[in-house]
């Protein structure tokens, strides 16, 4: 073996691999090779034995509205330090990267928030979750399916209005949620694709035919499946019925037990093409804060046991971290641990065209997942918690070298 192999992680289950694997790392923690456990290892190299636990990259949250009291539509020059605190908090929650989600609001607020994201430069030295760009959830939503989005700021979906909302910030917008039935010409989706913005369908009354047309034009995602869209019907499958069967369309879902019944999530996992369902937190600004009443734009939300509602009872989001959804899928017994872990780590990366776990990635991002003996309790921890390889958990191993 090459002398650049400094450390090994052994006896690991990796998503998408058969049997236990071993990972060779360089001195900086970069993965240099992945091979089955029956492969050769260098002699007397330090290793961490994870005893058959799963390893994955950290989570990727494609829809998160805020945390620690910060709502992302309120971002501005005075919120940069708080945004960094949020990014550090999310890293501690097992999230590698996220898309700050800006819900329907005034265009000036959208531009101010996007400018803050575009100019964000961390000042500290603590590990933080990376900001990949923004998710604009609105303002081009169907008023009948707006949910908690304020109707006063909804806009008609025209190419002119779309360009006004994006302004000069298109490079920092990674995902936009829209209702495709608002633009029968299809110009909006076509334009967004020229800007390399992923189009997600949601807050929509789209028929099956309208959804099919949108996917044909380049939409590749669905925002919080089941929520803010028509229910499945045997004569009109609607947006979700078409999305579940369409290859290359990824469906986001909230696994908090409130937004979607576990049985329906189980149906969606089985109905979608393998690896095309991903979890989001849809977490609001009180994420990381106790239950209680909090301001939300010009209104208030009441958070009870992690579920947020408006005063009229309208469901507005959660305050549960992304990886709680992974644990819920296993606890509810609706899928195996590998599928559950992938839904928050690998699948959202695939939905954005990003690389998953493999050679070239940093082991500093790795999460270690352990399934308890009851087969329903899944826990995780970051494998790498300091500035150097966790030598306190290592041992020297001898292996044959060819």
Query: Within 13 Å and on the Cβ side, how many CA atoms surround 8?
Result: 26
**81 contact partners, CB below 8 Å, separation of at least 6:** 123
- Which residue in the list 96, 183, 256, 282 is annotated as catalytic? 282
Q: Has 282 been annotated as catalytic?
A: yes
Can you tell me which residue has the tokens 């260098």?
42
- d(CA 9, CA 358) in angstroms, rounded, equals 13
- d(CA 92, CA 285) in angstroms, rounded, equals 17
- Can you read off the two tokens belonging to residue 302? 């009441």
- d(CA 51, CA 11) in angstroms, rounded, equals 5
Query: What are the angstrom distances between the C-alpha of 271 and each of 129, 250, 260?
Result: 32, 12, 15
- Can you read off the two tokens belonging to residue 146? 């707006």
The phi and psi torsions of 61 (rounded to 5 degrees) equal: -100, 110
- d(CA 188, CA 204) in angstroms, rounded, equals 15
Return the HEC string of 17-46: CCCCEEEEECCCCEEEEEEECCCCCCCCEE
For the chain, the first-to-last Cα distance in angstroms comes to: 8
The phi and psi torsions of 64 (rounded to 5 degrees) equal: -145, 130
Helix, strand, or coil here: 229? coil
Are the C-beta atoms of 254 and 280 separated by less than 8 Å? Answer: yes
Compute how many other C-beta atoms are within 10 angstroms of the C-beta atom of residue 293. 12
Q: How buried is residue 248: exposed, middle or buried, by Cβ count under 10 Å (0-12/13-18/19+)?
A: exposed
- d(CA 197, CA 353) in angstroms, rounded, equals 12
Query: What are the angstrom distances between the C-alpha of 396 and each of 46, 84, 399?
Result: 5, 38, 10
DSSP strands (E only) in 239-291: 250-253, 277-279
Q: Which residues are catalytic?
A: 282
């Amino acid at each position: 073996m090459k002398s650049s192999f400094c450390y090994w992680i052994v006896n690991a289950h990796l998503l998408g691999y058969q049997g236990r694997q071993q990972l060779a790392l360089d001195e900086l923690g970069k993965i240099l090779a992945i091979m089955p456990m029956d492969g050769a290892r260098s002699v007397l190299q330090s290793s961490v034995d994870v005893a058959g636990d799963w390893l994955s990259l950290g989570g990727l949250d494609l829809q998160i509205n805020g945390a620690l009291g910060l709502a992302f539509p309120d971002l501005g020059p005075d919120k940069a330090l708080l945004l960094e605190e949020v990014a550090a908090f999310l890293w501690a929650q097992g999230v590698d990267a996220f898309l700050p989600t800006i819900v329907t609001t005034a265009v000036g607020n959208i531009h101010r928030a996007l400018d803050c994201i575009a100019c964000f430069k961390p000042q500290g030295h603590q590990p933080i979750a990376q900001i990949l760009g923004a998710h604009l959830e609105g303002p081009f939503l169907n008023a009948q399916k707006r949910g908690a989005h304020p109707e006063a700021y909804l806009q008609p979906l025209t190419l002119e209005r779309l360009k006004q909302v994006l302004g000069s910030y298109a490079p920092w917008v990674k995902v936009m949620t829209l209702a495709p039935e608002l633009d029968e010409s299809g110009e909006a989706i076509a334009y967004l694709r020229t800007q390399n913005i992923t189009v997600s369908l949601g807050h929509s009354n789209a028929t099956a035919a309208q959804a099919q047309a949108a996917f044909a034009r380049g939409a590749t995602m669905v925002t919080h499946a089941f929520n803010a869209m028509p229910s499945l019907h045997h004569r009109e499958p609607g947006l979700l019925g078409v999305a579940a069967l369409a290859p290359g369309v990824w469906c986001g879902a909230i696994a908090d037990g409130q937004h979607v019944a576990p049985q329906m999530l189980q149906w969606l996992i089985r109905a979608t093409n393998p690896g095309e369902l991903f979890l989001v937190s849809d977490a609001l600004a009180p994420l990381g804060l106790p239950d209680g009443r909090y301001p939300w734009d010009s209104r208030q939300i009441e958070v009870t046991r992690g579920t947020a509602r408006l005063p009229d009872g309208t469901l507005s989001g959660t305050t549960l971290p992304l990886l709680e959804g992974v644990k819920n899928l296993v606890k509810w017994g609706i899928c195996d641990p590998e599928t559950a872990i992938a839904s928050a780590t690998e699948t959202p990366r695939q939905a954005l065209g990003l690389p998953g776990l493999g050679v070239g990635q940093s082991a500093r991002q790795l999460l270690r997942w352990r399934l308890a003996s009851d087969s329903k309790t899944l826990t995780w921890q970051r494998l790498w918690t300091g500035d150097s390889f966790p030598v306190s958990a290592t041992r020297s191993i001898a292996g044959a070298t060819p």
